[in-house]
Amino acid sequence: MNIARSLVGLRKCPIQNITSNIRILSLQPKLFEQQSFLHTSLTQRREEELTGAKVMIGNKNVAPANYFTKLEEKTRMDAEVDIDSLHKLETSLVDDEFQLYPDADTPDTLYNGIKFKDLPYICIVMKKNNTKLVSRHADQRLIWMNSPRTHGFDNAKKRTAVAGQVAGMNMGQKLRGVGIKFVRVRLNGFNQARESVLQGIVQTGVQIVCLEDHTTIKWHWGNRGKARPQK
């Protein structure tokens, strides 16, 4: 309030009294130091803190000896690893490389020297109680087929996510054994192993270049339930 009144007085007083008013302001430098500033930008606050402004810590108006050193290190680390910039970079890479829908050039795109239309594919049929995997060449020649039951999962265990992942890993190892590194995947159905079976295939080093959902959808009305037998 004293500063505001002094500034208002400067506008009303003549030129010869300005020097005296400035002298009065110079006698109160602590008023400027004790002001607390509110910033909506964290970067601007860090810049002012690095320039030497005092920081309120508890009831004391003096920062510890190593406070500004730690602040400089933290600011440098934030500048080196910026999460927002990494997210933008990752998004740009995904947008440039990943295509949601195929185009006219997709069938002739090369993967390890093989055209997309000539890549082998894995058909994964997921039912309520089982998961079946069948791999074929582009000309329908059978490569291998398996299911969780062939790896020791019987009865209710074969419908679990772990069973699907084991079946996917064994399918990937078989494909790597015959020299196949890039495949297409066709999904049919829903169960607990819908994601884990894909993780098992990828963990073996086989790269999935295409995911196709061939799940059958029945648009007509379902069959009415059977009548209860009469006694």
Domain ranges of the chain: 2-63, 110-213
Is 226's pLDDT higher than 90?
Answer: no
Please tell me the predicted confidence (pLDDT) of residue 165.
95
Q: Rounded to 10 degrees, what is the CA torsion of 161, 163, 164, 165?
A: 90
Residues whose CB falls within 8 Å of the CB of residue 24, separated by 6 or more in sequence, listed in order? 6
The CATH homologous superfamily for domain 110-213 is Ribosomal protein S11/S14 (3.30.420.80)
Among the listed residues 115, 114, 120, the one whose alpha carbon sits nearest the alpha carbon of residue 139: 120
| Residue 32 confidence (pLDDT) | 43
- DSSP symbol at 58: T
∠ CA(43), CA(48), CA(50), 5° rounding?
95
| pLDDT tens figures, 67-117 | 556 666 666 555 555 556 655 655 554 444 667 888 898 999 999 889 999
Residues listed for the chain: 231
pLDDT digits 0-9 by tens, 51-64: 554 444 444 445 55
What pTM, to 2 d.p., does this model score?
0.55
pLDDT at 220: 84
Residue 191: predicted pLDDT:
93
